[in-house]
Amino acid sequence: MKSWTDGEWFSTEQMMRFDNLGILQWLEDIGYSMDEQHINRSTISCSSPNVIDWIIRRFNKTDEEVYHALIEEAPYGICNVSSLEHLLQRKWKKSKGEVQMWFNIERNHITKKWLQYLWTYGISPSLMIRNWRLRSVS
């Protein structure tokens, strides 16, 4: 089985960041071994929901592990809302629109703490309405 050298891993990380899932799958199909040590926060933080799903499957990660890796970027600004929403949809069995509403209501208040809360508790419709009313009054 072929394996990656350090130089090839740079290219693989770029493929993940720029959503080249087809190339990643092709490399996997032709027998290149991929080591999960090269899947890091910066790679995950830029990956699309499709690449996130591939990483979860390929490296036997849980949704929760990947979600928490994504929110580790929160102190520097959230840059992968689509993948966060994707994982929350799956966890809470909510539609894309419902989860996007969570982010729309809190768009100016997205913090690591808030993202951790979302993963643990989700947001009930009554809490969303209350938050919306409080924001519209002030």
For 7, the domain range is: 2-137
Give CA separation, 118 vs 30, 87, 110, 124, 134, in Å. 39, 11, 11, 10, 19
Q: Does residue 57 sit in helix, strand or coil?
A: helix
How far, in Å, CA of 3 to CA of 94, rounded?
39
Kindly report the number of other CB atoms within 10 A of residue 13's CB atom. Answer: 17
Tens digits of residue pLDDT in 70-103:
888 655 666 788 899 999 999 999 999 989 888 8
What is the model's pTM? Answer: 0.75
How far, in Å, CA of 20 to CA of 72, rounded?
23
Tens digits of residue pLDDT in 116-135:
888 998 877 555 555 544 44
Tally of domains within the chain: 1
